[in-house]
Amino acid sequence: MKIFKKFYFFILLLSCIEITAQNISKNNFTKFPLHLSEFGFFSDLRNQIPVKEVHPYSLVSPLFSDHTDKLRFVYIPEGEKLGYIKNKVFIFPVGSTLIKTFAYLNQNGPLPKQLLETRLLINTDEGWKALSYVWNEDQTDAKRSIAGATISTTFISSDGEIIDIRYRAPNQNQCKECHQVNKVMTPIGPKPRNMNKTVEYASGEMNQLLHWAALGWINEKIKTQFISSYADINAELNDRARAYLDINCGHCHIAGGSADTTGLYLNYAENNKEQLGIYKKPVAAGRASGNLQYSIVPGNPDKSIMLYRMKSLDPGIMMPESGRALADEAGIKLITNWIDSL
């Protein structure tokens, strides 16, 4: 079975031209399938079991998205390799697809598993294309949503609390807010350092980067740093905080990112203290500053704009400004302790 087999047939019916694995990326964005099932990524769609050409992967530190569980998969065209630049996301070949399903698995309570949406990033000849597929109530398939969607649901938190939420799937344009650097769409999570971890495979435990090397995707001699998971309470506080800011804020707060003009850079490689926010005055935060003077005031979390905005649920104040309806209490505690330690 070839990836996109059903997709090719779908496009063939629409355009009456021959579609192959090599030119899938040349098709117009509006011609992508209406339903997720038509791509052929999964042998069991409902249970998220991929076909053999699609591989699961995970991140050391994932983005906070209202406590959702994320099921990640990647498809790389046969025989293709990934490019590598230090501190950057892997360079994926044309035809690659990153697949991410947002769900509440509710593994520690009586509520059933609920798949919410599946987002695709497809690398085409014209660059990365973002698509969102929202799951139906029967959990049998997901339908493409250009305008976004709001899903009222209930989930069980890690500490057993039952929480009602209006989960928001982004519209097509909102994807650019986070996935754009120098006005070019790009993935966020799969940086080598954020994938440098041991993962349980069917054949046993293996470092994820070495596994990708065994698949022929990357050079096994790639050298990348090891970073702590921000959830690892045994790791150094500074390492955890920087990892948290990197994945949750650093894709926008970086040179060329959507928050470039703020001068507040929160990616992991940033070493300039002022650009990290220490005693940095806001450029144009308006009421979002909370009448506070600096992004970070060492030793004084309550006087730090960063924490004020992390705590807020006001759309005109909150940071991140999209992708969440809830405050990340664990993240707030982590950054509070970090600022207090500076």
Q: In the chain, what is the straight-line distance between the N-terminal and C-terminal CA atoms, in Å?
A: 55
pTM exceeding 0.85: yes
pLDDT of residue 234: 96
User: What is the per-residue pLDDT for 225?
Assistant: 80
Return the closest-CA partner of residue 151 out of 142, 160, 159. Answer: 142
Show the tokens assigned to 313.
Answer: 């649920």
Taking residues 270-287, report their average pLDDT: 90
User: What is 285-306 written as a DSSP string?
Assistant: -GGGGTT-SBSB-TT-GGGBHH
Range with the poorest average pLDDT among 118-127, 236-245, 284-293? 284-293
Contact status, residue 37 vs residue 45, Cβ threshold 8 Å: yes
Please tell me whether residue 194 adopts helix, strand or coil conformation. helix
What is the Cα gyration radius of the chain? 21
What local confidence, expressed as pLDDT, does residue 285 receive? Answer: 67
Q: Which residue do the tokens 């000849």 mark?
A: 125
Number of H helices, E strands in the chain: 6, 14
Residue 109's pLDDT is 81
Amino acid at 166: R
Q: From CA 164, how far away is CA 152, in angstroms rounded?
A: 8
At residue 279 the predicted structure's pLDDT band, cuts being 50, 70 and 90, is: very high
Q: What is the mean pLDDT of residues 327-332?
A: 95
| 250-275 residue pLDDT tens | 889 988 888 888 999 999 999 999 99
Residue 322 gets the label, from left (phi > 0), alpha (psi -120 to 50) or beta, of beta
pLDDT tens-place string over residues 208-251: 999 999 999 998 778 788 889 999 999 999 999 999 999 999 88
